[in-house]
């Protein structure tokens, strides 16, 4: 039994050469659990070695100097002094103690009322022998509620003591302000003054000049974003589709930035800048990023509106800082998006109004563009949708030498753009190339951003239907969604309105079917879409840049088909042709006043008559009256021609309208089934054409805008 007890007891450490067996994870709770000698014994050499290992490799920070702590100690001492009460050495007593200890014994010389609430007691000189303790030198004080009550109690006490009136204790009244209260009162003012002095000293270092601190709040610094080619700019020219000509022109900049010696050894200089102009969404910014990605250089991106602020001089300051940053990171590309915000033509002398700050920014930009040489390897690209409003000095050779126009892509460009945007989409199609060609034919006039929107909408539609892949039908619905708007299932038309819409759209379809130069029909629908469209017709015209007088007349007749059909089949006309009449009027004015297609007006062009910026007409009143007369005559001629055509095809209109009322959507195949083949051969195959949707929905809501294509 004793042996068993000894087996559970601890051994004598003096006779045990092995250290204690400490459970794993509990070494920190036992002094001898660490590696080293036995418990209680330390090796000084081992501890010194460990301390040396714990020291950091770098130099140790210097100890804080006296100058570091001195301002802090001074501030603490000053705050302590301010916070000390002025009567810290006096003793506070009650009124009863004051009367029994001091007043009744005749030890009070005078009383001082401070700030109407505290009474200080000044004792007589002989009171030092009668009052023992530190209060004999410091005095006493007590608090009162009101001065009137204090005076009444004091007079009553002195009357009870029998003190004559001429020997009573004098009372004086003082107003005192503590140092702490005064400091707190002045603190906001002092802080504001100190802040202004501090910011003024910062601004004195330079109001945002090249490399300067940027003035107050750093407002003079450029807001350009720096993209490093190794991390951010991953876009290459292969990611930009539909702009082959623009890529060829801008490739010169890439070759120059990659290998400038090839040009410099021949005495050539690279253009200092290029203006990328074109409609919105055509890929101007994307092309600039691809240029930076291909050249492998830093890319500075800034918007033209970021140069304009409410402070005078900020715009030129930011321009200087932008170019200073570019020179430090050369070779570099600067891209100024929407440069028309600061690059508009400067006003002539004597004009009322103006924008001096914007013009100063433009002047600084002109100086910077013309100030650095090509050896610095800085290329400036700018994007704008309005190249016509830019200042001529900005566009001259030596600043922006090249003007690169990025237009909406043609049919081949749209095919390539669809291929780029359809890569990440899971598509249920056997032949992707055939699908992209068909979609490109259905999206004429679409820019790259519009095509990306179509692909995204198709994926959203497929996901909404819980499909595993995106089908061709989803893409067609997405195109209709982008062109005409979302289907308004909640908008329920009355039977009379639905019949009117059907005959209106049937009139458009029949007029276009039997006119030679009208666009081939693709689809007709009477499903309400968008904000005001109650129906629409979709056509597939070819790529065409020149139109004859006969072609324009056929287009006018097709556009008037809806109004003529209403007149033929109903007793009254509706507001559904509002948008059609606007289009016809615009085409008629363009033929007579712009294209010179009228014998009476002659071969004259007066510009766009719908230009809102024009304050006066460039012709006389007599000429204007003549133009109005000829426009009315031309529209009436087209209307009568359409009326005669649809009167002869009245039965065909009824067939199409009845089919629309039953199916709501009919296609080209349905039209061919009812009317036979179109009497005029299609000059271009569908896939090789650049189709364009012309939407002619009747709007029966008064004063509601019509949906344009």
The residue written with tokens 């004080």 in the block is 141
> From CA 180, how far away is CA 365, in angstroms rounded?
55
Six token digits for residue 404: 């690169």
In the predicted structure, residue 586 carries a pLDDT above the cut 90 = yes
Question: Which segment of 155-164, 255-264, 370-379 scores lowest on mean pLDDT?
Answer: 370-379
For residue 450, the number of C-alpha atoms closer than 13 Å in the C-beta half-sphere is: 20
Burial 303-332 (b: 16+ CB within 10 A, else e): bbebbbbeeebbbbbbbbbbbebbbeeebb
- β-strand 140-143 against 91-92: which pairing, if any? parallel
* pLDDT at residue 283, rounded to an integer: 87
Q: In which band, very low, low, confident or very high, does the pLDDT at 214 lie, cut at 50, 70 and 90?
A: very low
Catalytic pick from 437, 480, 505, 689?
505
* pLDDT at residue 516, rounded to an integer: 87
Residue 675 vs residues 509, 524, 565, 656: alpha-carbon distances, Å: 11, 15, 17, 9
CA 654 distance to own-chain centroid: 52
357-376: pLDDT as tens digits:
788 888 888 888 876 555 57
* pLDDT at residue 46, rounded to an integer: 53
459-507: pLDDT as tens digits:
999 999 999 999 999 998 898 888 877 877 667 778 888 899 999 999 9
Six token digits for residue 17: 């050469």
Q: In which band, very low, low, confident or very high, does the pLDDT at 131 lie, cut at 50, 70 and 90?
A: low
Question: Which segment of 191-200, 201-210, 541-550 scores lowest on mean pLDDT?
Answer: 201-210
Strands, sheet with 665-667, edge to edge from the N-terminal-most edge strand: 536-539, 521-525, 665-667
The whole-number average pLDDT for the span 559-566 is 93
DSSP 8-state class, residue 591? I
- For the chain, how many helices (H) and strands (E)? 25, 14
CA angle 644-650-652, nearest 5°? 125
| Cβ–Cβ under 8 Å, residues 442 and 691 | yes
- β-strand 108-114 against 118-123: which pairing, if any? antiparallel
Six token digits for residue 179: 């140092």
| Cβ–Cβ under 8 Å, residues 288 and 297 | no
User: The pTM is what?
Assistant: 0.63
> From CA 215, how far away is CA 605, in angstroms rounded?
54
Does the domain made of 495-609+619-675 have the CATH classification 1.20.58.760?
Answer: yes
Q: What is the DSSP string of 265-314?
A: TTT----SEEEEE-STTSSHHHHHHHHHHHHT--EEEEEGGGG--SSTTH
* pLDDT at residue 39, rounded to an integer: 41
* pLDDT at residue 217, rounded to an integer: 52
Residue 169 vs residues 96, 158, 348: alpha-carbon distances, Å: 17, 9, 88
| Cβ–Cβ under 8 Å, residues 121 and 140 | yes
Residue 363 vs residues 197, 376, 391: alpha-carbon distances, Å: 32, 21, 10
Correct CATH for 225-345+359-405 of 2.40.30.170, 3.40.50.300, 2.40.160.10, 2.130.10.10: 3.40.50.300
* pLDDT at residue 355, rounded to an integer: 64
* pLDDT at residue 202, rounded to an integer: 64
* pLDDT at residue 564, rounded to an integer: 94
| Cβ–Cβ under 8 Å, residues 316 and 222 | no
> From CA 234, how far away is CA 251, in angstroms rounded?
17
Work out the mean pLDDT of the chain and round it to a whole number. Answer: 77
Six token digits for residue 493: 């038309």
* pLDDT at residue 589, rounded to an integer: 93
Does the domain made of 91-176 have the CATH classification 1.10.486.10?
Answer: no
Strands (E) located in 66-164: 91-92, 108-114, 118-123, 140-143
Name which residue leads in pLDDT, 137 or 159.
159
Burial 643-674 (b: 16+ CB within 10 A, else e): bebbeebeebbeebbebbbeeeebebebbeee
* pLDDT at residue 57, rounded to an integer: 46
Which secondary-structure segment (H or E) carries 382? strand 378-384
Cα four-point dihedral sign 556, 560, 562, 564: negative
Name which residue leads in pLDDT, 24 or 321.
321
Residue 66 vs residues 61, 69, 76, 150: alpha-carbon distances, Å: 15, 5, 15, 53
DSSP 8-state class, residue 445? T
> From CA 324, how far away is CA 220, in angstroms rounded?
13
Q: In which band, very low, low, confident or very high, does the pLDDT at 78 lie, cut at 50, 70 and 90?
A: low
Q: Where are the domains of the chain?
A: 91-176, 225-345+359-405, 411-484, 495-609+619-675
Residue 505 is among the residues annotated as catalytic for this protein:
yes
Six token digits for residue 626: 């003549």
* pLDDT at residue 702, rounded to an integer: 39
Does the domain made of 411-484 have the CATH classification 3.40.50.1700?
Answer: no
* Number of residues assigned to the chain: 709
* pLDDT at residue 685, rounded to an integer: 45
- The strand pairing partners of 142, in sequence order, are 119
């Amino acid at each position: 039994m004793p042996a068993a007890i000894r087996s559970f007891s601890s051994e004598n450490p003096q006779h045990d050469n092995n250290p204690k067996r400490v459970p794993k994870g509990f070494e920190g709770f036992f002094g001898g659990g660490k590696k080293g000698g036995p418990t209680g014994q330390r090796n000084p050499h081992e501890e010194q070695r460990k301390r040396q290992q714990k020291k950091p490799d770098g130099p140790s920070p210097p100890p804080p100097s006296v100058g570091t702590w001195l301002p802090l100690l001074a501030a603490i001492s000053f705050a302590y002094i301010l916070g000390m009460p002025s009567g810290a050495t006096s003793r506070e007593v009650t009124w009863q103690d004051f009367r029994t200890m001091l007043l009744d014994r005749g030890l009070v010389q005078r009383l001082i009322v401070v700030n109407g609430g505290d009474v200080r007691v000044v004792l007589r000189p002989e009171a030092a022998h009668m009052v023992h303790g530190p209060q004999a030198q410091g005095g006493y004080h007590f608090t009162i509620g009101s001065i009137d009550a204090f005076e009444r109690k004091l007079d009553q006490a002195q009357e009870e003591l029998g003190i004559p009136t001429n020997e009573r204790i004098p009372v004086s009244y003082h107003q005192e302000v503590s140092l702490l209260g005064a400091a707190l009162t002045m603190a906001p003012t002092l802080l504001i003054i100190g802040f202004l002095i501090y910011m003024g000293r910062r601004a004195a270092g330079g109001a945002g000049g090249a490399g300067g601190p940027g003035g107050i709040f750093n407002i003079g610094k450029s807001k350009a974003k720096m993209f490093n080619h190794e991390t951010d700019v991953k876009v290459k020219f292969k990611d930009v589709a539909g702009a082959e000509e623009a890529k060829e022109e801008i490739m010169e900049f890439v070759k120059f930035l990659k290998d400038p010696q090839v040009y410099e050894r021949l005495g050539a200089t690279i253009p200092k800048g290029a203006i990328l102009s074109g409609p919105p969404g055509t890929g101007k910014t994307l092309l600039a990023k691809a240029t930076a990605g291909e050249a492998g250089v830093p890319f500075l991106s800034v918007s033209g509106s970021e140069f304009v602020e409410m402070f005078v001089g900020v715009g030129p300051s930011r321009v200087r800082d932008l170019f200073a940053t570019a020179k430090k990171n050369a070779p570099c590309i600067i891209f100024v998006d929407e440069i028309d915000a600061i690059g508009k033509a400067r006003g002539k002398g004597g004009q009322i109004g103006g924008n001096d700050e914007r013009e100063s920014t433009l002047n600084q930009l002109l100086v910077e563009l013309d100030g650095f040489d090509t050896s610095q390897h800085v290329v400036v690209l700018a994007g704008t949708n309005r190249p016509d409003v830019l200042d001529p000095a900005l566009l001259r050779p030596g600043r922006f030498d090249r003007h690169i126009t990025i237009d909406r892509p043609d049919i081949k460009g749209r095919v390539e753009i669809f291929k780029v945007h359809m890569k990440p989409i899971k598509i249920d199609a056997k032949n992707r190339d055939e699908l992209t060609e068909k979609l490109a034919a259905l999206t004429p006039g679409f820019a790259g951003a519009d095509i990306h929107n179509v692909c995204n909408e198709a994926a959203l539609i497929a996901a909404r239907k819980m499909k595993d892949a995106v089908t061709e039908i989803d893409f067609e619905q997405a195109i209709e969604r982008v062109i005409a708007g979302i289907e308004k299932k909640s908008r329920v038309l009355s039977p009379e309105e639905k019949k009117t819409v059907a005959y209106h759209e049937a009139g458009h379809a029949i007029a276009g079917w039997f006119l030679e130069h009208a666009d081939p029909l693709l689809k007709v629908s009477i499903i309400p879409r968008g904000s005001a469209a109650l129906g629409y017709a979709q056509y597939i015209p070819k790529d065409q840049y020149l139109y004859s007088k006969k072609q324009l007349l056929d287009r006018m007749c097709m556009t008037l088909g809806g109004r003529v059909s209403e007149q033929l089949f109903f007793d009254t006309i509706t507001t559904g042709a509002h948008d059609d009449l606007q289009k016809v009027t615009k085409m008629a004015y363009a033929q007579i006043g712009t294209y010179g297609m009228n014998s009476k007006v002659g071969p004259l062009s007066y510009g766009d008559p719908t230009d809102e910026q024009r304050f006066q007409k460039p012709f006389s009143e007599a000429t204007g009256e003549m133009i109005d007369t000829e426009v009315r005559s031309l529209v009436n001629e087209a209307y009568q021609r359409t009326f005669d055509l649809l009167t002869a095809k009245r039965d065909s209109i009824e067939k199409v309208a009845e089919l629309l009322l039953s199916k709501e959507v009919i296609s080209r195949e349905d039209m061919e089934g009812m009317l036979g083949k179109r009497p005029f051969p299609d000059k271009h195959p569908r896939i090789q054409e650049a189709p364009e949707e012309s939407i002619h929905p009747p709007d029966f809501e008064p004063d509601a805008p019509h949906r344009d294509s």
